Amino acid sequence: MNAARSRVASIPTWAWLAAIVALSSALRMALAGRTASPWIMVDELIYSELGKSFASGGNFLVRGVSSTGYGLVYPVVIAPAFGLFRSVPDAYLVAKLTNAVVMSLAAIPTYFLARRLLAPALSLAAAVLAVSIPSMLYTETLMTENAFYPLFVLAVLVLVLTLEQPTARRQVLLLVVCATCFATRAQAVALVGAALVAPVLHGLIERDARARLRRFATLYGIAGALVVLALAATLARGRSPLTLLGAYRAATGAGYSAAEVGRYLLWHVAELDLYVGVVGAAALLAMWLAPRSLSSGARAFVAATLPVTVLLLAEVSVFASRQSLRIEERNDFYIAPLAVIAMLGLLARDVVPTSRRVLVAAALVAGVLPVAIPFARFVNTSAVSDTLGLLPWWWLQDQGIHFGPLRLVALAVGLVAGAAFVAVPRRYAVVFPALGLVYFVLASAVVENGRHGIHQASAGALFAGIRMPHPDWIDRTVGRDADVAFLWHYTGETRPLWNNEFFSRSIQTVYTLDGPDPADGGLPETPVHERGDGTLITAATAAAPPSVTYAVSYVDIAGTPLARDAQLGLALYRVDGPLVILTRVAGVFPDTWGGQVVTYRRVHCTGGAISVRVGTDEHLFSSAQTVTVTDRGKFVRTIVIPPAEQPIVRVPLRPDANATCTLRFAADRTRVPGRGDTRRLGAHYYSFDYSK
């Protein structure tokens, strides 16, 4: 036994860290293949476009337009994948493999941050826990979390080192790391604020604030100069200083309520407390409550982590209270390693206070906080992308525990964990990191593979956006260097646009026919309008319609069909000229329901027929629905739609003197669904397929 311990002890630290990073990367790589499609949209589309652009020309373009509103570090990280692999599905997989390594690197700064307080073995345990949290599953997405997580922990490490020894070199390094974090996510402005506040707090803890602040002249001098230069440069270009916040500028708008921000702050703190397993939060809070009883390294840790946590949570809560209206855990889970280190501090000397009063106070706060989470409000589909810590609780709700009792279950879990934090002797505190690891693993399993997990979200996104055997079917048909336009009109489901654009390098331009995409996050688009003859024109070209080579469209357009995603109604055409819409359908809602009357019109019509796939809802129509088809007032045929069936009916077309074919579909009965839906509905019109 002693020989085995000696052999283990002889293994160098770098080897252990390398093994942790390698094993974490391997696990994440194994899971990468389970994600069939991006599903956090439009974020993943934007970062993939930025990565493609940087790989091809060193620019940051989205749909050919320069974009400075998003972090640039992460697109640079994944750019090699898109540069080395022309096939987007292959590049997508390699980008996720890159994520696996990059995010797993968080283990390294976590280890060295923990070493400021803990022995090597405990610091290695902290590294393991840091790459075991459920949010590591973001490696399966093309999101900035992958790069920001290790950079965030690195920034906290450098901040602690700078507080311990505020040399000019370390202060400059701190600013460089914070700037890199900011270039990854503008959210890192909270880190800049924390770097400026931490020396003051450290001085108050050490009771030498005046002398200590003089040692930070380099930090404050450079930071002040950079702020002045940035503001001057922005104003000189005629821009608002708020543009420096990039995509987060929306968080600076007016109309915030202090009470609402306070509620969101409480909810974010409570959810993060639950996310880290309560004990870690209690240990971190205890350190903050009594820093002067701790070692010098722990005091520096407190001075750094307190402003980082407070400012980050405040920033996220302000944003969420008006912009997203949900708990944005994916913007604050970066705090988890700090709580993990504090929890492991229970096994060390002079890291977590021993005062009974402090421990009880911390345990009480951390134990009660989970009851503040309004599960009924936040356990929904938004949690799948933004609040992974709530998905295990959604699983419990699926087992029959309703949201009301669920809050009591959360309270009971919190109080038990808090009581254990106080009652378990320090010599047995190893149970906490062991249980924490089990908790992270089980939670990750639910998040990744549960009924509401990432795997299902990804599969659902692909099903909603592409039904072809190969997601890059457009590139495979016309080549990756072709110039394809996507003609989009509001249909209620933007996945076909986003997913096909993601997987197809050849899609260069997006034309919007019926107004802008309401959920695209402001992506560049080219609005077009339809002339009487079906030709599409833009405001810029006026009477001269834009000329395109290939186009993808939901509706029939003039050209040669090359390929078709029949289940979604998308077709790829060779156009070689202006875009001309041949068919228009009026009276059909975005969810394919039609009102009492639906009209089909086709210009440049020489005859032929359309195959119409129709249906109803057996809950609205318990008996067969009848639809009468007429052509310019003349009866054509009757369509009978039995409940729960989707018959396909062929209807002939007859052109008028203007080469226009028009059909009118009139439902015999209509029903109002209720529950807030006041529409009068007649039948589903799933597709209109033309054939000669």
Task: Give yes or no for residue 591 having a pLDDT over 90.
Answer: no
Q: Is 529 within 8 Å of 536 (Cβ atoms)?
A: yes
Task: Give yes or no for residue 251 having a pLDDT over 60.
Answer: no
Instruction: Share the mean pLDDT of the chain.
Output: 92
- Mean pLDDT computed over 103-125: 98
Q: Is 668 within 8 Å of 627 (Cβ atoms)?
A: yes
Q: What gap in Å lies between CA 306 and CA 284, rounded to an integer?
A: 9
Among the residue ranges 1-5, 395-399, 571-575, 688-692, the one predicted with the least confidence is 1-5
pLDDT, position 692: 84
| Residue 371 zone, left/alpha/beta (φ > 0; ψ -120 to 50; rest) | alpha
Helix, strand, coil % (nearest 5) of the chain?
55, 15, 30
Q: What is the DSSP letter of 517?
A: -
> Which candidate, 369, 358, 362, places its Cα nearest to that of 414?
369
- Mean pLDDT computed over 270-292: 98
pLDDT band at 78 (very low <50, low <70, confident <90, very high): very high
The full length of the chain comes to 692
Q: Is 639 within 8 Å of 614 (Cβ atoms)?
A: yes
pLDDT, position 172: 97
Alpha-carbon separation of residue 549 from 352, 458, 482, 577 (angstroms):
68, 32, 8, 7
pLDDT, position 248: 56
pLDDT band at 644 (very low <50, low <70, confident <90, very high): confident
pLDDT band at 492 (very low <50, low <70, confident <90, very high): low
Task: Give yes or no for residue 482 having a pLDDT over 80.
Answer: yes
Q: What gap in Å lies between CA 542 and CA 448, rounded to an integer?
A: 50
pLDDT, position 58: 94
pLDDT in tens, 50-59: 999 999 999 9
pLDDT band at 675 (very low <50, low <70, confident <90, very high): confident
Q: Which two tokens stand for residue 328?
A: 């944005």
pLDDT in tens, 140-155: 999 999 999 999 999 9
**490 Cβ contact partners less than 8 Å away, ≥ 6 residues apart:** 514, 515, 517, 518, 590
pLDDT band at 254 (very low <50, low <70, confident <90, very high): low
pLDDT in tens, 194-221: 999 999 999 999 999 999 999 999 999 9
pLDDT, position 242: 61
Task: Give yes or no for residue 557 having a pLDDT over 70.
Answer: yes
Q: What gap in Å lies between CA 331 and CA 558, rounded to an integer?
A: 47
Domain 585-691 has CATH 3.40.50.10190: no
> Which candidate, 85, 87, 86, 102, places its Cα nearest to that of 32?
102
DSSP-assigned letters across all residues of 120-144: HHHHHHHHHHHTTSGGGGGGGS--T
Q: Which two tokens stand for residue 566?
A: 């029949």
**What element of type H or E holds 684?**
strand 683-691
Q: What is the DSSP letter of 623?
A: S
- Domain borders along the chain are 11-457, 471-581, 585-691
Most confident of 66-70, 392-396, 674-678: 392-396
3 state DSSP class of 265: helix
pLDDT, position 67: 80
pLDDT band at 180 (very low <50, low <70, confident <90, very high): very high
Task: Give yes or no for residue 399 having a pLDDT over 80.
Answer: yes
Residue spans of alpha helices (H) in 430-543: 431-449, 454-465, 473-478, 495-503
pLDDT in tens, 502-533: 999 999 999 988 777 666 667 888 888 888 78
Q: Is 665 within 8 Å of 627 (Cβ atoms)?
A: yes
pLDDT in tens, 334-354: 999 999 999 999 999 999 999
pLDDT band at 450 (very low <50, low <70, confident <90, very high): very high
> Which candidate, 362, 350, 336, places its Cα nearest to that of 298?
350
pLDDT band at 566 (very low <50, low <70, confident <90, very high): confident
pLDDT, position 520: 65
| Residue 377 zone, left/alpha/beta (φ > 0; ψ -120 to 50; rest) | alpha
